[in-house]
Structure formats: structure tokens, C-alpha cells
Structure 1
Amino acid sequence: MTTISRPRRAFWGDVRFLIGIALVAISITGVWMILSSSDSATPVLQATRTIVQGEAMVSSDFQVVDVGLGGLTDDYLAPEDLEAGRVAARTIVSGELVPRTASADADDSRSTTIVVESTTGIPDDVDAGTVVELWQAPLLEDGRAHDAPRILVADVIVGEVLESEGMLADSGSAVELVIDRADVAEVLAAITSGASLSIVPIGAGS
């Protein structure tokens, strides 16, 4: 009697089958990881405008977003972390997730704000958060002319560019600056002595 042997399954057919199972498993794992990441998203604060150093941090300046930060979750401020009496320890840019290190107690802040009138025009790209230099040209003893300009305070932050009125409306601007408290006396002395003050953006002269 002649026995008809069954055809053997091709080796490559078995390999393709195993590969198919592996791809399905990888796909399922990927979907599971995405869903797990979504489930572990944490609500954190995101700035809705630029907040300069020393400025009070209030709830209206933030929105709550859900972000999957993994092990970095504790490094960022959650909604319940925004307490009264907190100020920005540095400039927080609009759209930035707020790290804990960007918040400080108001009593510990070394910065304050002061308004100066710049006798020169302010470039259009200078706004809240811009780092500038404050220059002065001291008034000479005769009271008729000014000495050569020199830097009064370096690396100060613009809090706000204000609308000027009166004689300086066409030639200069009033600017709110965030400065170190240690520099306040020197700046006030320059203002009261009649020095000509100018705001110069960092790098403007390069």
C-alpha cells in the first residue's frame, strides 16, 4: 500500500506567524503605555502671561493643565501649592509650566520695583521680562549740562513699560524696573540729583 505523506509546513510560514504575534503584542503594549501615561497625568500650573521676578503670583495669572511628568511631578507647582504671599523668584515666561524653584516667599525676596523715566526712546521689543541696563549721565555742578553716561545698574528686569506724559511723552518712556533692594538708594539718588537716565537693552551696543 502506498502511504501519502502530509506536506510539511514551510519554515518561513511559521516565522511569519510568530512575527505577527510579536507585532500584535508590541501594539497592545504601546496602547497600554499610552493609556497608563494618560491616567497618571498630574495637574500643574502654567503661566498665562509673563510674570517678572518679584511680582506677586496670583491664581488669575495661571491655568491648570494635566501633564504626564513621571518622576518630575514634585518639581512643579500644583494648584493647591499657590499660596498667598508668594512671588516669582525669577521671570516666568508665558506658557511655561511653573517649577517650584520659580516661587519664593515675599518676605524673603531681595527685589523691589521702581519707576524711572528714560530720556531716550524704548525699543519696541522691550517689554515685561526684558533684561536691560540702567545708564545715567550725572548733572554737572553748573546744572546746565550732563557728564558722560555710565552704567548705574546692570542686569535689571523691565516690569512694565508705562505711558509717559508731559515733556517726556515724545522723547522717552516711564519704565517700571525690578531691581535689587541694595541698588534702590543709588537709583533714587540719581533721580533726585537730576541725572539723565536711559534704558539700554542688553546687547544693544554689540
Structure 2
Amino acid sequence: MSVGTVTAGARLKKPSWKDPRLVVGILLVLASMAGVISLLGAADQTMEAYAARESIAVGEQLTEDKLHRVKVRLGDLEQRYLTPEAGLAGGLVAVQRIGKDQLVPRDSLGEPDLLDRKPVAVTIDEVLPGQAVAGSRVDVWVALPDARNGFSPPTLLLPGAEIAQITAGSTALGSARSTVVLVLVSDSQMPQLLGAQANKAKISVVWNPGGPSR
């Protein structure tokens, strides 16, 4: 047998389980598979959370029929949102507006006596721009009646008030249709607005794209 034949036979020799290179190779394959399985498991770590079926206005009581369940990945943010696992306590109301299909933040809920803003209906005759919708901000101007059966110059009563809801008001024969705007009013501002309404003041609502005043 020649030296070349011996060398070729050595190269074609079946590897032994005692070969450290084979053991290392198997360990590397197993480690790679474990890493892939771990990544797939982490990517599928979804959970159920509550989202609003329709928009929920400030002051509206929250019940399960107004919510639906969605699969989301919250991770470390889980404690910030309402989940079926944690449950929904009774008697809670929205202290912030919750949009349709929006996840429900825990800090948007509270007891009714914690509400610092309450919706007040303001009836206007002017047409609001399309941007003035629930959740947007408006300025409320008031012109009080004067001694000459007219009105005094308007003053800004509520800067950057949030709209809770807009609905079409009733219309009298031959008159233009009015609009009822529910604006959120703080307790400190409430007497001025209610006083203006009681004194038959002319109230105007102007869309405020800048939002609430700082």
C-alpha cells in the first residue's frame, strides 16, 4: 500500500463521537436552535387589553359593554393600561376623553367626585369648522346684554376649552339650525358661564387650533 493510499484513507475515515470538533459543532447547532426558539417566543408575547368600542366622553361611566378586547404587546407598559386580567372596577368614569379603538389608560379613569371638569351645553347659531370635533379645543366668548337692548363687547370667558360632544340642535320654522356644543368647564369657571346663560348673553364658540393656554 502506498503512502498516498494511506493518506486518502485517513481523510475518509468516519468521525468518532470522541472527536472534540464534532461535539463542539453539535453544541453550536443546539445553541443556535435555542436562540431562534427564544426569539420566536419573545415575539409572540402578546396579551389582551381593553380598547374603547366608541369614543368615551369625560364623565361617562365605563362599563364592559363599551369596551372590546385586543391583542397587544405592552411589555413594561402593561401596568399603564386596563386589561381583562386586572378587571374593571365598578362606578368608574372617564376623567379624560378616550377615542374609538384607543387602549384605555388607567389614569384616564376615576371616581365621579374626582372630576374637575364637567360638560355644559352651549347653543350656538354659527357654523363650526370641520376641525372642531370632540376632543379638540375652542375659545368661548360671551357678550352680555346692555341697557340699549343690544350687547356689550364680547369677552373671552373660556380659553382653550375641550369639546366633549357636538350635536345638532332643534330648529324653529324659518330659522337656521342651531348647534349644541358640550364644553368641559372647571368648577371655578362654572359660575361665570352659567351666569352668562342665565342673563341671556350671546355666546360664541371659536375653534382654537393652538389648544389650551399654558
**TM-score (normalised: structure 2):** 0.76
Unaligned 5+ residue runs, structure 2? 13-23
* Deviations 1:78-130 (CA, angstroms, capped at 9, x unpaired): 13532222111212222221121111111211121111112321223322222
In the alignment, which residue of structure 1 is the partner of 2:69?
Answer: 64
User: What amino acid is aligned across from residue 185 of structure 1 in structure 2?
Assistant: P
Encode CA deviations 1:172-202: one digit per residue, 9 max, x unaligned: 4111222212222111111111211111111
Q: What is the aligned-residue RMSD (CA, Å)?
A: 2.9
Change in 2 beyond 3 A, CA 1:169/1:90: farther
Aligned match of 1:13: none
Aligned position for 2:19: none
91-100 or 188-197, which deviates more: 91-100
Specify the alignment match of 2:104 in structure 1: 98
What is the CA-CA distance between 1:33 and the residue it aligns to? 2.6
Percent identity between the aligned chains? Answer: 21
Q: In the TM superposition, what are the counterparts of 1:9-48 in structure 2 within 5 Å?
A: 26=32, 29-38=35-44, 40-48=45-53
The DSSP-based 3-state class of the residue aligned with 1:182 is coil
CA contact (8 A) 1:122 1:172 kept: no
Residues 202 and 180 of structure 1: CA distance in aligned 2, closer, same or farther (over 3 Å): same
Unpaired segments ≥5 residues, structure 1: 10-17
Distance 1:163 1:29, change over 3 A: same
Cα pair distance change 1:100/1:3, threshold 3 Å: same
Q: Structure 1 74/170 Cα, relative in aligned 2: closer, same or farther at 3 Å? A: same
Match of residue 14 from structure 1: none
Q: Secondary structure at the match of 2:200?
A: coil
Aligned length: 193
Map 1:86-125 → 2, pairs under 5 A: 86-125=92-131
Q: Is the 8 A contact 1:119 1:196 kept in 2?
A: no
Name 1:51's counterpart in structure 2.
56
Q: Which residue in the other structure is 2:202 paired with?
A: 196
Does the alignment pair 1:159 with 2:164? Answer: yes
Aligned to 1:45, what secondary structure does the other structure show?
Answer: strand
- TM-score, normalised via structure 1 length: 0.78
Deviation at 1:56, TM superposition (A): 2.0
Separation (CA, whole Å) in 1 of partners of 2:123 and 2:113: 28
Indicate conservation of the 8 Å contact 2:54/2:101, yes or no. Answer: yes
Of 129-138 and 78-87, the range deviating more from structure 2? 78-87
Listed one character per residue, the Cα deviations across residues 19-55 of structure 1 (whole Å, up to 9, x for unaligned) are: 9x979965763443333443x4322111222223332
Q: Distance between the aligned counterparts of 1:46 and 1:34, measured in 2?
A: 26
Distance 2:64 2:138 in 1: 28
Supply the AA of the counterpart residue of 1:67: V
Task: Name the CA distance, whole Å, in 2 between partners of 1:157 and 1:179.
Answer: 8
Aligned counterpart for 1:140 among listed residues 138, 146, 150: 146
Using the alignment, how far apart are the partners of 2:134 and 2:109 within structure 1? 18
Which residue is 1:3 aligned to? 3
- Residue type of the alignment partner of 1:35: G
